[in-house]
Chains A and B, each alone.
Chain A
Amino acid sequence: GAVVSQHPSRVICKSGTSVKIECRSLDFQATTMFWYRQFPKQSLMLMATSNEGSKATYEQGVEKDKFLINHASLTLSTLTVTSAHPEDSSFYICSASPGQGMSTLHFGNGTRLTVT
């Protein structure tokens, strides 16, 4: 079945540095990928929609300059957390669909980011 690979699974970084998270669709092309953030014991919050070849669409309240999204190919989207702070520590999950709409959405295994 369709697989979405997310890397790294865990990352620890110092405050003020930047961290890049990759999301790859391994056996299908995805013109659209989605980035979610999940706080402990909470639900997933959509951060942004990543569109191949164009700018990402950010949800209200998400800082574009803080969370840079690049969707350079049909199989790769990256999320860069710039100038990370401890409050950016969270679980970040990407997802992608091989078809139109949300009926077949596949999720990566997530990235646990810890900012010290």
Chain B
Amino acid sequence: AQSVTQLDSQVPVFEEAPVELRCNYSSSVSVYLFWYVQYPNQGLQLLLKYLSGSTLVESINGFEAEFNKSQTSFHLRKPSVHISDTAEYFCAVTPQGGKLIFGQGTELSVKP
């Protein structure tokens, strides 16, 4: 069985500061990894994903995540956050072709 752990439930940061949202997973098979963002009272939007190939993946709005197989991690980073990045972020994993399993979520709060 697969599982996902997001180590921080809340991450408060100041605007223009760097941020890292941590995600660890466990699986006995190869998996796909995702980060989703959820704004209040909305569904989830895909931020970025790792399927294969380069272990560093990037989103169009400056986020990046690196797949580390040895540490079973897929941490999300941004070098300089904006107020508009305030949202809930979910890490998710699926065994290739299987069900999507979500972490508990990390609330990113960017303060001016």
B112 contacts A by Cβ under 8 Å: no
Residue contact A102 to B41, C-beta cutoff 8 Å: no
CB-based nearest A residue for B93 = A102
Known: A4-B43, A102-B94. 14 other contacts (CB 8 A): A9-B41, A41-B107, A43-B90, A44-B90, A46-B99, A93-B43, A101-B32, A101-B97, A102-B97, A102-B99, A105-B46, A107-B45, A110-B41, A112-B41
A108 contacts B by Cβ under 8 Å: yes
Residue contact B43 to A107, C-beta cutoff 8 Å: yes
Residue contact A43 to B105, C-beta cutoff 8 Å: yes
In the complex, how many angstroms separate the beta carbon of B12 from the nearest chain A beta carbon? 15
B59 contacts A by Cβ under 8 Å: no
In the complex, how many angstroms separate the beta carbon of B44 from the nearest chain A beta carbon? 4
The 3 closest A-B pairs by CB, nearest first: A107-B43, A102-B94, A107-B44
Residues of A within 8 A of B41 (CB): 9, 91, 110, 112
Residue contact A43 to B104, C-beta cutoff 8 Å: yes
Bound-state CA distance A30–B98 (Å) is 16
Residue contact A93 to B105, C-beta cutoff 8 Å: no
11 contacts between A and B (CB under 8 A): A6-B43, A41-B105, A42-B104, A44-B102, A95-B44, A101-B97, A103-B49, A107-B45, A109-B42, A109-B43, A110-B41
B residues within 8 Å of A by Cβ? 32, 36, 41-46, 49, 51, 90, 94, 96-100, 102-105, 107
Residues of A within 8 A of B42 (CB): 109-110
Candidates B32, B43, B45, B102; contact of A103 at CB < 8 Å: B32
CB-based nearest A residue for B90 = A43
Say yes or no: A43-B43 contact (C-beta < 8 A), given A101-B97, A102-B32, A102-B97: no
Residues of B within 8 A of A106 (CB): 46
Residue contact A105 to B43, C-beta cutoff 8 Å: no
Bound-state CA distance A114–B46 (Å) is 27
Residue contact A43 to B100, C-beta cutoff 8 Å: no
